[in-house]
Amino acid sequence: MRVTVSDIVSLYRPTPCDLRIYLREHDFPEAEPSAFDEILRTLGERHEQQHLATLGACEDISAIPAPDRVSRTIEAIQNHLRVIYQGEFALETDVAGIPVIVVGRPDYLIWDTDGYIIRDSKLSRQVDADHHVEITLQFQLYGWLFERTIGERAKRLQVHTGKRDIVDVPCDGGVAAILAELERVLRLKQLGAEPYEPVGWTKCGGCGFNKYCWDKAQESGDVALVAEVDQGLARQPTSSANPRRQMRATRTGVTLCGNQLKKT
Ligand code: SF4
């Protein structure tokens, strides 16, 4: 099974949701990117190319046939090439006893006197402990892949932000955090049945599975459709005598299941 850095990002963006990983793994149809998504993608590519142009000559791994990219990346690192663009790592390992290939492609690997800096361009203007946890996790995974593949630590992990700042990303304690995230992704991919995930206006608004999840919630009368029901309440465990599916959200209110809602 493959786990990529994009899987980790998918857990958190556009909003945190475990179900997104399961649906993507099982090829559920996802909406085409919106015009806004396309604009963001174009801006992201331009931002990346503008930064690349400031770094001088580079080894462009994206121009190499896919089967050779990992070996060419390792070779370029061993030769201390100054800038490696779109390098690729693919590490065969096991996580929680599950055999897995972990894949990551940092935008730039930059040789700096005695070691490599791993850097990515992001449109996000602020990246720190309180903003964009997925970016921190992404870099921790890059750092972990680099160290496991090359046998030494990356010198620094850095984000080229939407403000064109270069911000260091801390990698202390990253191994435990990233292994926990990898295990979480693997378990979601391996589930035998679709996990329950309550829908929400803010949560689902920008998600490509919006239509699928809302149609399903409406068909089943999921209690998460009721405005007064928060995500925590919707997730509450059910019993055979009191299954969540017995809750009924209607236009006029809620047909009670359990003893917590009595709106009609
Ligand atoms: S539509 Fe909502 S519930 Fe469905 S995968 Fe997206 S965020 Fe999760």
114 bridge partner residues: none
Residues 160, 232: one domain? no
**Mutation probe of ligand 1 site: the residue of 7, 13, 18, 19 with most atoms within 8 A of C-beta:** 19
> How large is the average pLDDT for residues 43-54?
96
Number of domains in the chain: 2
Q: What is the pTM of this model?
A: 0.84
Residues 11, 83: one domain? yes
Containing structural domain, residue 113: 2-190
213 CB within 6 A, ligand 1: yes
What pLDDT was estimated at residue 112? 96
Question: At what angle are helices 133-150 and 174-190 packed, to 10 degrees?
Answer: 100
What pLDDT was estimated at residue 218? 92
What would the two tokens of residue 206 be? 């920008």
Work out the pLDDT band at 51, boundaries 50, 70, 90: very high
17 CB within 6 A, ligand 1: yes
* Strand-pair category, 89-95 with 98-104: antiparallel
pLDDT above 50: residue 256: no
Q: Above pLDDT 90, what percent of the chain?
A: 64
Residues 157, 209: one domain? no
Residues 237, 139: one domain? no
- Cβ atoms of residues 43 and 36 within 8 Å: no
What pLDDT was estimated at residue 45? 95
**Mutation probe of ligand 1 site: the residue of 17, 25, 34, 231 with most atoms within 8 A of C-beta:** 17
Mean pLDDT of the chain: 87
| DSSP state string for 4-15 | EHHHHHHHHSSS
Residues 236, 161: one domain? no
Q: Which residue has the higher pLDDT, 40 or 173?
A: 40
Residue 165 domain-assigned (yes or no): yes
**Mutation probe of ligand 1 site: the residue of 11, 22, 199 with most atoms within 8 A of C-beta:** 199
What pLDDT was estimated at residue 47? 96
CA of 72 to the centre of ligand 1 (A): 38
Q: Could you say which DSSP state residue 230 is in?
A: -
Please report, to the nearest 10 degrees, the dihedral formed by the alpha carbons of residues 76, 80, 85, 91 taken in order.
60
What pLDDT was estimated at residue 216? 94
What pLDDT was estimated at residue 42? 96
- Cα dist. 93→73, 97, 101, 152 in Å? 19, 9, 6, 17
CA of 207 to the centre of ligand 1 (A): 6
Lowest mean pLDDT among 17-26, 61-70, 96-105, 127-136: 127-136
Please name the residue whose Cα sits nearest to atom 3 of ligand 1.
199
CATH code at position 115: 3.90.320.10
Residue 264 domain-assigned (yes or no): no
pLDDT above 80: residue 260: no
pLDDT tens sequence across 177-203: 888 999 999 999 999 999 999 999 899
CA of 19 to the centre of ligand 1 (A): 6
pLDDT above 70: residue 37: yes
Work out the pLDDT band at 224, boundaries 50, 70, 90: confident
pLDDT above 50: residue 162: yes
Residue 24 domain-assigned (yes or no): yes
| Span between the terminal Cα atoms of the chain, in Å | 48
Residues 226, 98: one domain? no
pLDDT above 80: residue 167: yes
Query: Which of 137, 171, 190 is the endpoint of a domain?
Result: 190
pLDDT tens sequence across 91-147: 999 988 889 999 999 999 999 999 999 999 999 887 776 777 888 889 999 999 999
Lowest mean pLDDT among 53-57, 110-114, 231-235, 247-251: 247-251
pLDDT above 90: residue 73: yes
Residues 137, 87: one domain? yes
Q: Which is the closest atom of ligand 1 to the Cα of 204?
A: 2
Residues 233, 135: one domain? no
What lies within 8 Å, CB to CB, of 30 at 6+ separation is 23, 24, 208, 209
